[in-house]
Structure 1
Amino acid sequence: MIARLGIIGFGNIASTLFDVLARDGRARFEAVSVLCPPGMVDAAKTALADRAAALADEVSFHESVDAYLATSPDLTIECAVHQVVRETVPEILKAGCETIIVSIGALADDATTAALQDAAAAGRTRVALVSGAIGGIDALAAARLAGIEEVIYTGRKPPHAWTGTPAEEILDLASLAEEAVFFSGTARAAATQYPKNANVAATLALAGVGFDRTRVRLIADPAATGNTHEYEVRSASVNYTIRLEGKASPDNPKTSVSTVYSVAREVLNRIAPLSI
């Protein structure tokens, strides 16, 4: 059970998560603690204070990991960026606090993965990876035990969702008239080059055949109304194809709003007497 909830970050995912948990009504904590970058406490309070107050009477905001850990969170949810996963999460794990990671693409770096595993072992805790915007991860992870031949993932989003990424150097996103494949390669390359857009590819890689054997295509499509994730699996136990048409977050088109609900499900499963 979770009595004291902690979260890293105060952006769109964090704020929407608090709203979802409050609306559900089952989540009520002794305390909620927020870890934010130095100099950003006021901004974090503006974004999250009222939302957090709907979940706990005790709400606090912190700039340092030490101050954050002093609040004794039972569970930390990382809703930040890859750099935070590399530089901050290991310290939290070493302190014995289980951590849910949303920025799964950070694990495309083998050194980061090893550091997280070592830190979790040292703290006698674990890292939890949520499925995020994709589905069927249970089937994929089970198929890995039988032997997987291939996993091919295709990510399709409207052109504006790729703004601020290397896709801008390949395509004229503003005037794109038809769909265009601008990336074809490994999940490792996709997660590294498109860190805010390819967490799904990283999730599939970790559940399946790894970052270097998972094949990825990324598409900008002016006809797309949301973020579409499709992948095909061929294995010794099951062959299947999944296609999900996720709704883009209204505040951040790079993020599928289903990611937030995936995290909320993980939290609620920790506090419910029956979980699924």
Structure 2
Amino acid sequence: MELTNLNHNFVGTPVSIRSSSVSFVYSIRIGIVGYGKLGQYLVEQLMNEGTKYRLDLAFIWNRTALNEETRSKILIRCPLVKFLNALEQIKEIDFVDLIVEVCHPDIVKQYAELFLDKADFLIGSPTALADPEFAQTLTNKLSTSQHRMFVARGALWGANDIQMMARRNRLQNVEITIAFHPRSLRLNDAKLCELNDDLIKQQESMLGEDNQPKPLILYEGPARELCQIAPNNANTVATAALLGVGFDHTIGKLISDASLCDFHRIEIIVRGKPTIDDKQFRVELNRQSPTHSAHNVSSLHTYDCFWHSILHCTGSYIRANNLEIQVY
């Protein structure tokens, strides 16, 4: 999802450079901000499939430095990659075309303007945009920047349809329920943390029994507040709000469910505006997505969605597959 429609010739679009003795194709260089499980997956994809899609790894930054063994393994495959100790070092990078954030909304708030000074920017933590002051600052920055900003669709199934209905003024409301195992939740509210911890204790006390604690609704209401309560878990809700009716009118529900040991569940209800004869468009969707463990914030399918977002924003599918069908 592109957040702006600024006129911009995409930096790094592959071009053939020829002389009497040299001919080569320029690769689009990607910077990865965050080396958790999702960041590691994206780096692995760039190492394994980068050549196919003419993508290269420009740099990696993580809150804690990568160990020497990990660095060595990456350097064997991507010898030009830089390992940054501080994000301010991005200023010193000679070539980077797309910066991909996959760590935390606080990083988006602190460094988005710096990223846009240097390259196009793909946000993986759109809950940052629930802060109206930051959203306005970013809007102002984009109005003068030569670079573009994108928001990854992540786990939001039907993202294009929600956006299309909103653009055509056909959308009435969107409700999203996100359900996680209690150990997957990262909560900023002390009272909700206590309730969630109690659910974990209940589950531990019932190990070996057929019954599980009942799912607990931690929050139900406007998406803006949910994004502040659970910034790492509510990115799907934030994306829907950005595409649809906004943070104050999108309804989000957060459920802690001890039975979801190896799945995340997302339920989406989209309603269109009633027609003149009082008929209404309605879609209900239930997404069950596997995870490696109860501790994971992102599901396995979400990893693939992020990789697809990178290929989409860089036009890489089209270049690698001449007959690739583009659906608009």
User: Are the counterparts in 2 of residues 157 and 219 from structure 1 also a CA contact under 8 Å?
Assistant: yes
Deviations 1:234-265 (A, max 9, x none): 11484212221112254952222322211211
1:20 equivalent in alignment to 2:57: no
Deviation at 1:93, TM superposition (A): 0.5
Deviation at 1:66, TM superposition (A): 4.5
Deviations 1:160-179 (A, max 9, x none): 22265543322412215111
User: Are the counterparts in 1 of residues 270 and 282 from structure 2 also a CA contact under 8 Å?
Assistant: yes
For 1:32, which of 42, 58, 68 is the aligned residue?
A: 58
Deviations 1:198-255 (A, max 9, x none): 1111011111110011111111122224111111011148421222111225495222
Distance 1:49 1:127 in 2: 32
Distance 1:182 1:198 in 2: 13
Distance 2:292 2:47 in 1: 18
Deviation at 1:116, TM superposition (A): 2.1
Match of 2:228 in 1: 192
Deviation at 1:124, TM superposition (A): 1.3
Q: How does 1:1-276 map to 2 (within 5 A)?
A: 1=13, 2-24=27-49, 26-37=52-63, 40-43=64-67, 47=70, 50-51=73-74, 53-54=76-77, 56-71=78-93, 72-95=95-118, 97-144=119-166, 145-162=168-185, 166=189, 167-171=192-196, 172-174=198-200, 175-176=202-203, 177-224=213-260, 225-236=262-273, 238-250=281-293, 252-269=295-312, 270=314, 271-272=316-317, 273=319, 274=321, 276=326
3-state DSSP of counterpart to 2:248: coil
Deviation at 1:183, TM superposition (A): 0.9
User: Are the counterparts in 1 of residues 178 and 253 from structure 2 also a CA contact under 8 Å?
Assistant: yes
User: Are the counterparts in 2 of residues 227 and 245 from structure 1 also a CA contact under 8 Å?
Assistant: yes
Distance 1:207 1:118 in 2: 19
Change (3 A) 1:221 1:74: same
Moved over 4 A (4+): 45-49, 249-252
3-state DSSP of counterpart to 1:33: strand
* % same residue: 22
Deviation at 1:267, TM superposition (A): 1.9
Distance 2:57 2:183 in 1: 38
Change (3 A) 1:258 1:238: same
Match of 2:276 in 1: none
3-state DSSP of counterpart to 1:41: coil
User: Are the counterparts in 2 of residues 180 and 221 from structure 1 also a CA contact under 8 Å?
Assistant: yes
Change (3 A) 1:112 1:217: same
The TM-score with structure 2 as length reference comes to 0.75
Gaps of 5+ in 1: none
Deviation at 1:36, TM superposition (A): 3.6
Distance 1:260 1:253 in 2: 12
Distance 1:123 1:92 in 2: 11
User: Are the counterparts in 1 of residues 227 and 238 from structure 2 also a CA contact under 8 Å?
Assistant: yes
After alignment, is 101-110 or 153-162 more displaced? Answer: 153-162
3-state DSSP of counterpart to 1:114: helix
Distance 1:240 1:203 in 2: 17
Counterpart AA for 1:92: F
Match of 2:22 in 1: none
Distance 1:250 1:21 in 2: 24
The TM-score with structure 1 as length reference comes to 0.88
How many residues of Structure 1 are paired with residues of Structure 2 in the alignment? 271
Deviation at 1:109, TM superposition (A): 0.4
After alignment, is 132-141 or 107-116 more displaced? Answer: 107-116
Structure label with greater radius of gyration: 2
Deviations 1:138-177 (A, max 9, x none): 0000111233211111111122222655433224122151
User: Are the counterparts in 2 of residues 249 and 255 from structure 1 also a CA contact under 8 Å?
Assistant: no
